Structure 1
């Protein structure tokens, strides 16, 4: 087959699938944003990057932004067709940014498969979940409906879709859910495994080793969607109870989801200001974003790994921490419950219960009698259902090849 991947940040979720299909003898190309400088595992072409959309319509801005990107991706696809004679049998794209919206007009006979990451919903998910940080209102729900338009259009046009978790698949309306197959992106458990000799040197030169009282917290951006504010509020009690504890916080100061604080500063600055004088900052280490090998070292050596999330997309960092045999303290929210059961392979606490989170972190640091069992069970969960080479990748390949058009 001829297969085209479309993703503005390629390889993204297709880092393993694209080269695996190429190894099976298919002709595989990728189309991405010209500003994407990530190295790709296959031959990659680029479309013109969109400029910011200028419109006075707040509700229309989202759709205008995504259709503009879709238009530019389609023009790139047309050049690929007209100048290079490329006509894919299968197109596999991510619906999140509108790139697949017009590709059927370029190649009407190709099978269009999409990655359905999440459908925005006005109730029961992230909207209205945290009234303190993101106040619920009619306007917030109106904006959510508007943000969903391109996602609905993208999956309606598709022949089939794939989602990484059942929670994420179930965020789509029932009339569209039948198109979605659930297959996790997969964790390379041979690489992401426990290592009792793991160590990490922090930016200031301090070395942390397995056996040290270390709490790890990892998020692409430090923001409320990943419970950063709740985690920070739990730390004063933890640091007071455990004088040898070290806290390593990984993540950028920008915004991946949601909105910044009202004063325009970062959530890191906002929380440090709120907790001024209550934290021993010599024991709280902000690393920014870490190189992947350093991230692996951290989750391997940490005595406790904390993961918090709104009802939203499940982070790779949680499943990677579980694969590394982490003792996980996590939020009792729907996407997390899909992989962690309290007392079976981790500890769950209510998202907003700061004292409960502090107590759970302290319990993990001082030595939970069930820690070894929970660590082993966490890794086994990933081995049994999320292993890249045993489960995810074979199922993804089968999904793509089974949906290919008959020649």
Structure 2
């Protein structure tokens, strides 16, 4: 069969599907955005905004259409030569897939939906101008996502929490299927050592890990750093490994530099025992988790990160924020601990407790791994995705 995979950073969340299709000998064409392209041993197409639409002067709607037309132009020669995919796998996002149904009317389109943006709560005290701007941004961002929903044959979203962000009328047409965690790769390791900035860390050292795409409020970076500075004062041997880029990915407003400079200026953490790794490749990230004594995952109500489930799969205890996406995975005291992200004292106390009580930490770590195997294991998630694609 012929498959077309469309994702701004392809293969992205479709990595396991992509590998499976290749292993079965299917013809796969991948389309991704310029600047985010991974070199793959298949035919690749690259789309991008036309130069005249780049920058803040162009409205979001024009950019959505421009991105869709860019991919349309890239695919048109294939279509005119008679090539057509049997299945299109599309990431519902910024508009690249806007014209796929027009170009390939007979293809089965399966779309991955991550998030639907709501207007801000009017009771937050936000001034009128900011409220109107955020509401307008949400409506514009949802436009290409709604188009994908109208054009799809089937759709899915990774978690119940994420599905519930979409309009209720959509729910019956959105399957809840996680991307899947490779629990054979993210597995416990009794003997593991890594080197970071010339320092060697081993399994058994007292290490707290934190991971995110960016250093920002959405993922509780400031709250984590404030709490860890307190725990470092209590535990002189504690080391901290932070796998994150100093950038903003999900916080509202302009994207750019992250919050590390703010933390450096306002929080008295131990610079000698806090190690910033940046974004690390997966092979190194699993080693970081395997030497960890405790992983901390904090998030506001938003898309659930893979890193939470990766850490649980490795079998280390996880301290998470008591927010809806995390509560879907972690039952407090059963397979992890949950505290309010806004309660710095509770965060510090919970970290201190899990580092001190290795019996409790071990029990929670083992239970966390069982949760991932039972609910998010790659084999079962991949099979459900393939079944959806085949109809």
Give the TM bin, normalised by the shorter chain: over 0.9
Q: Using the TM superposition, name which of 313-322 and 248-257 deviates more.
A: 248-257
SS of the residue corresponding to residue 20 of structure 2 reads helix
The offset of 1:25, in angstroms, is 4.6
Contact 2:241/2:277 (CA < 8 Å) preserved in 1? yes
The offset of 1:52, in angstroms, is 6.8
Q: Name structure 2 gaps, 5 residues minimum.
A: none
2:368 to 343, 367, 378: 378
1:246 to 233, 239, 242: 239
SS of the residue corresponding to residue 330 of structure 1 reads strand
Contact 2:244/2:279 (CA < 8 Å) preserved in 1? yes
SS of the residue corresponding to residue 119 of structure 2 reads coil
What is the aligned-residue RMSD (CA, Å)? 2.4
Contact 1:200/1:298 (CA < 8 Å) preserved in 2? yes
1:89 to 82, 86, 90: 86
SS of the residue corresponding to residue 15 of structure 1 reads helix
1:301 to 291, 295, 310: 291
SS of the residue corresponding to residue 209 of structure 2 reads strand
The offset of 1:260, in angstroms, is 7.0
CA separation in 2, counterparts of 1:250 and 1:369? 27
CA separation in 1, counterparts of 2:56 and 2:202? 54
- C-alpha change, 1:48 and 1:21, in structure 2 (3 Å) is same
CA separation in 1, counterparts of 2:145 and 2:138? 11
1:209 to 182, 185, 202: 202
The offset of 1:326, in angstroms, is 1.5
The offset of 1:254, in angstroms, is 1.8
Q: Deviations over 1:18-40 (max 9, x none)?
A: 23134335332212224333133
Matches within 5 A, 1:360-399: 360-389=350-379, 391-399=380-388
- C-alpha change, 1:235 and 1:35, in structure 2 (3 Å) is closer
SS of the residue corresponding to residue 3 of structure 1 reads strand
CA separation in 1, counterparts of 2:257 and 2:108? 45
How many residue pairs match? The answer is: 389
TM-score of the pair, normalised by structure 1: 0.89
SS of the residue corresponding to residue 273 of structure 1 reads helix
- What corresponds to 1:105 in structure 2? 102
Matches within 5 A, 1:294-373: 294-373=284-363
Q: Name structure 1 gaps, 5 residues minimum.
A: 403-407
SS of the residue corresponding to residue 188 of structure 2 reads coil
The offset of 1:244, in angstroms, is 0.9
The offset of 1:341, in angstroms, is 0.9
TM-score of the pair, normalised by structure 2: 0.93
- C-alpha change, 1:2 and 1:261, in structure 2 (3 Å) is closer
Contact 2:49/2:63 (CA < 8 Å) preserved in 1? no
- C-alpha change, 1:48 and 1:312, in structure 2 (3 Å) is closer
- What corresponds to 1:196 in structure 2? 190
**Structure 1 segments (4+ residues) deviating >6 Å:** none
The offset of 1:201, in angstroms, is 0.8
